[in-house]
Structure 1
Amino acid sequence: MLTSINPKLPMRNKAASREFYIEKLGFSFFGNADYDGYLMVEKDNIQLHLFEFKELNPLENYGQVYIRTNNIEDWYKLAIDMNLMLPQAGHLEIKPWGMKEFSLLDPDHNLLTFGQDI
């Protein structure tokens, strides 16, 4: 039986990623040790793991994760209020596949798409 999934995304700068996920998105540090080059954060029922990749070119990063939520408008408001980077096609909208979605980019251009069933 599969019990969870913890996506691993690349990061260039651990301090910048920590600030983004913890200070801006409200995640918490996860784990009982602070590992060099590795960051684990969690919020509610999800965890994201980030690994150091200093040579990463953000414009060539295709890291993506889809996060389901039951309060999409709150997350979208947070993204707007915090002036987070939304890609051109990332604004909140209802998709033909029955989801209300928006996307934002973290400091390394990992694409975080938030979705809620309609």
Structure 2
Amino acid sequence: MKHLLKAVPVLASLDIDKTVNFYTTKLGFKATYHDAGYGIVVRDDIAIHFWKCDDKIFPENTSCYVDVQEVDQLYQEMEQVGVIHPNGKLEDKPWGRREFAILDADGNLIRFGQSL
């Protein structure tokens, strides 16, 4: 029997409204819940939760990895809205993944990738 089904990242946010707006307008997520202290966005089968913090050290030192399909198409979508991390261009990695990275409005690093 499998007990573990999937992981849901809970990232730090300096301003929940601003963060949710970034994910919905730039990244194509849909907001399913948010208030001043907590937010949830979803896209396809991925949910990301956010907790309110007051120190930028938390989001600037936090990241998550999202497995995707059609990584090249997703990269083009993200490149068009200008969110690609300066060091996160799409490339084949030596660990057998094709991936890229973005920074969200708070500084959280999100890496997207698929197996080669």
Q: TM-score when scaled to structure 2?
A: 0.89
SS of equivalent to 1:40? strand
State the partner residue of 2:45: 45
Q: Distance in 2 between matches of 1:37 and 1:55?
A: 14
Match of 1:25 among 14, 21, 27: 27
State the partner residue of 2:15: 13
Q: Distance in 2 between matches of 1:77 and 1:55?
A: 32
Q: Distance in 1 between matches of 2:107 and 2:39?
A: 16
State the superposition RMSD in angstroms. 1.6
Give the paired residue count.
114
SS of equivalent to 2:61? coil
SS of equivalent to 1:61? helix
1:78 partnered with 2:77: yes
Letter in 1 for 2:81: M
Task: Using the TM superposition, give the Cα deviation of residue 36 of structure 1 relative to its aligned residue in structure 2, in angstroms.
Answer: 2.5
Q: Distance in 1 between matches of 2:86 and 2:47?
A: 23
Q: Distance in 2 between matches of 1:77 and 1:66?
A: 18
State the partner residue of 2:60: 61
Letter in 1 for 2:93: K
Cα deviation per residue 1:31-71 (whole Å; 9 max; x = unaligned)?
4xx4331100111111100111122247x721110001011
Unaligned runs of 5+ in 2: none
Q: Distance in 2 between matches of 1:100 and 1:64?
A: 17
Task: Using the TM superposition, give the Cα deviation of residue 85 of structure 1 relative to its aligned residue in structure 2, in angstroms.
Answer: 4.3
Alignment check: 8 A CA contact 1:40 1:50 kept: yes
Match of 1:92 among 90, 95, 103: 90
